[in-house]
Amino acid sequence: MYDCALFDIDGVLVDIRKSYNAAIRKTVAFMIREFSGKTFRNLVTDQIILKFRQTGGFNNDTDTCYAITLAMLANPQKNVMAGRKFLANVAENADETGIASVEKYLARFGTEKWKRELAYPAPVKDSVLARVFDELFYGPELFQRQNHLEPKYSRGTRPLIENDRLVVSWQTMKRLHTMFSGRLAIVSGRSRLAADYSLGPVMKYFHLGASVFLEDEKREYAKPNTFAIKHAMAAMNAKTAAYAGDSAEDLLMARRAEKELGGRINFVGIYGYSAEPKKTAAGFRKEGVVAISSVNRLPQTLRFRL
């Protein structure tokens, strides 16, 4: 039915609610404390993070950290509840242009000073925010391997990547590998290093020459740019594809790639590892796509529903 199958990692193959989401929360707390001296305990919830991801412009979690930090510095809030309400409002006014839309919305509060202070986006070596996020997520050893820098902020801390939970089973991967004659590829915002670490025993089922790890690529290729899908399909000589993703960026990317390539790309929304599974499923169905709770249901879904 399809020439190949493509997979996002976060929220699809791996449950990241206690890893990447935790890195966002801790990075934001660090940045606000560092630049304002204020402490907001438990400010950032999974629901707020989801609101940003649903805009279609925040596949990069460091972008989410920047948007939240800039908002709280530019327009300080009295308490946690007021902060959450304001951040929800910021997310509701964001769109697929990501941090550009947030900067535009926050301009009324006078953000130029904070934009200079935060120096983002910039490489990890030049941005405190990007560096803190990577150090907290990767931990000292993996951070050094990924960025070739000595850690400053993560010494003695437990790497949050260790909280990743692999949810796809080897049985599912083996079945899909057989169904597609090995034409399975990863299209993910992660680095190759983070993918290897968390996918471990199932990594062998993917065509790594066709896979794209966007953290290791130019920033301009980030989702919903179609670069990754087009690269993966070209490497496998595929004209049609099924793509399993969990976010608005994934859906936008798949639909744009379908138009650009002229071949069918059927998106399947995975919602079981979202902060709000029911709302996420409803959102996918409203867009007219099949939504399933777990990637482990993908083989039967491809066989009987698509």
Nearest C-alpha neighbor of 91 from the set 70, 77, 112: 70
Which two structure tokens, joined as six digits, stand for 22? 């935790």
Note whether 156 and 177 are same-domain residues: no
Note whether 172 and 103 are same-domain residues: no
Across 11-24, average pLDDT: 97
**Average pLDDT, rounded, for the chain:** 95
Q: What is the pLDDT of residue 1?
A: 82
- Look at residue 155 and tell me whether its pLDDT is greater than 80: no
Note whether 11 and 70 are same-domain residues: no
Asked which of 110, 145, 162 is the last residue of a domain, the reply is 162
**Alpha carbon distances (Å) from 199 to 23, 105, 117, 164:** 19, 38, 36, 9
Note whether 182 and 151 are same-domain residues: no
Note whether 121 and 255 are same-domain residues: no
Please name the residues in contact with 28: beta carbons below 8 A apart, sequence gap of 6 or more.
43, 44, 65, 68, 69, 72
Q: Could you read off the pLDDT of 256-284 as tens digits, one per residue?
A: 999 999 999 999 999 999 999 999 999 99
Q: Quick check: 221 and 228 in contact, CB under 8 A?
A: yes
Q: What is the pLDDT of residue 157?
A: 82
- Look at residue 41 and tell me whether its pLDDT is greater than 90: no
Q: What is the pLDDT of residue 156?
A: 77
- Look at residue 60 and tell me whether its pLDDT is greater than 80: yes
d(CA 52, CA 92): 8
Q: How many domains does one find in the chain?
A: 2
> Is residue 154 very low, low, confident or very high in pLDDT (cuts 50, 70, 90)?
confident
Note whether 87 and 102 are same-domain residues: yes
| Percent of the chain at pLDDT exceeding 90 | 95
Across 155-174, average pLDDT: 94
Note whether 151 and 183 are same-domain residues: no
Residue 75 is part of which domain span? 20-162
- Of 95-104, 153-162, 226-235, 240-249, least confident by mean pLDDT is 153-162
Q: What is the pLDDT of residue 306?
A: 60
> Is residue 49 very low, low, confident or very high in pLDDT (cuts 50, 70, 90)?
very high
Note whether 219 and 277 are same-domain residues: yes
Give the CATH number for residue 269.
3.40.50.1000
Note whether 12 and 31 are same-domain residues: no
Note whether 150 and 176 are same-domain residues: no
H/E stretch holding 173:
helix 170-179
> Is residue 114 very low, low, confident or very high in pLDDT (cuts 50, 70, 90)?
very high
Across 33-43, average pLDDT: 92
Nearest C-alpha neighbor of 72 from the set 49, 90, 60: 90
Note whether 300 and 183 are same-domain residues: yes
Which two structure tokens, joined as six digits, stand for 31? 């940045």
Q: What is the pLDDT of residue 305?
A: 65
Q: Could you read off the pLDDT of 165-181 as tens digits, one per residue?
A: 999 999 999 999 999 99
Asked which of 103, 135, 162 is the last residue of a domain, the reply is 162
Note whether 135 and 200 are same-domain residues: no
Buried-state track 146-182, b at ≥16 Cβ within 10 A, e below 16? bbeeebebbeeeebbbebbeebbeeebbebbbebbee
> Is residue 12 very low, low, confident or very high in pLDDT (cuts 50, 70, 90)?
very high
Asked which of 105, 132, 162 is the last residue of a domain, the reply is 162
